[in-house]
Amino acid sequence: MKFGVVLFPSKKLQDVANSYRKRYDSHYSLIPPHLTLKEVFEATEDQIDEIAANLRKIAEETNPFSLNVTKVSSFSPANNVIYLKVEQKPELTSLYNKLHEGDLEQPTEYSFIPHITIGQRLSDDEHLDVYSQLKLVDVAHEETVDRFHLMYQLENETWTVFETFRLGKG
């Protein structure tokens, strides 16, 4: 099965992201707005129990932290993805690193740039047009993150929560 680890922002921030994703994100119907902490990986049912135990331990060792969205940005020219830029705070980077150490280590295609995708798979012209409009929008937002989620992919390619992990010793 395919798994991944994500943070879901508050409903308020999801509503902002979805107002753009409906039009510009081909994955809109597959998963809610999210910040990817661990890219897609394959695991068996036996392996996922062990992985979930590791994630529980990481969650206990990680305190809730502040998530700051600063602006709309883009990965162009590498690819035509438009996203809400999330400030790279030490707590977020530390959580990401813990999710990629030891038994959880996996090769990653890109460096960790925290973001919430709001547009992807756009043509060059469409990307330029949409991004030139959206980069002017004030999307500044701050909230506290107190959990992350282990997701798995269903046969219809949608993603659903396998387990939720609360941060800290709550």
Catalytic residue positions, numbered = 34, 115
**Integer angstrom CA distances of residue 30 from 89, 121, 157:** 28, 14, 7
By the 10 Å C-beta count (0-12 exposed, 13-18 middle, 19+ buried), 16 is classed as: buried
What residue has token string 């049912």? 45
What's the order of all strands across the beta sheet hosting 82-86? 115-119, 82-86, 65-74, 141-145
Token couple for 106: 């996996």
DSSP-assigned letter for residue 75: -
Instruction: Single out the residue of 144, 147, 150, 151 nearest to residue 62, CA to CA.
Output: 147
CA pair distance 55, 62, nearest whole angstrom: 10
